[in-house]
Amino acid sequence: MSKSKFENVERIEIEKVTVKGYVVQGTHCILKPTQLSTMEATFNLMVKQMVAVGFENESTLDDHILSTINNVTGVTPIVKTYQVGASKTSNSTPEMIELISKVDALVLEYADCVINGKPYFLCTDKVPREYSGTFTTRTPNGEDRKEYIEALTKTVKEATKELTK
């Protein structure tokens, strides 16, 4: 068995904490891909509106993201860097990813408000509801997941063949 060259190196682990939906580790933040896309859409909308009224913008997307994280979380020391965590669309097709992106932008445009980077709507029963758009497979109660997925896969493949004829 070979020895690791880092065996005697002291490892410093900085605790990850979640503050108002943001995972913060010291002065670093790990964004969910949806948080990043929401911030990008918000930034693009803000820039578009500023241009429409003749206001010059010197801010960058990175400035906007870090300012948003720091304003929402209020952590000290302030967040200076960020990364995007693993995508929940890693198994999605390019068409699914494009559709989710377009729907997210549309939802953001029509949301009643955005709280911590998440679009909310006030429903007819006066309960605020958060939008969460994903492709998922929900196994019905009482069903074996593996068997359900196999049957569903067969049905989808057959339907796809029928549609392409």
Q: Tell me the residue range of the domain where 70 lies.
A: 16-156
Residue 104 has pLDDT above 80, yes or no: yes
- Residue 35: other Cβ atoms inside 10 A: 23
162 located within any domain: no
Query: Which residues partner with 83 through β-bridges?
Result: 30
**pTM of structure:** 0.49
- Extract the tokens encoding 119: 């679009």
Contact 42, 105 (CB under 8 A): no
pLDDT at site 1: 46
Q: What are the φ/ψ torsions at residue 110 (nearest 5 degrees)?
A: -100, -5
Share of the chain above pLDDT 90, in %: 32
* Domain count along the chain: 1
161 located within any domain: no
CA–CA gap between residue 26 and residue 22 (Å, rounded): 12
82 located within any domain: yes
pLDDT band at 4 (very low <50, low <70, confident <90, very high): low
103 located within any domain: yes
101 located within any domain: yes
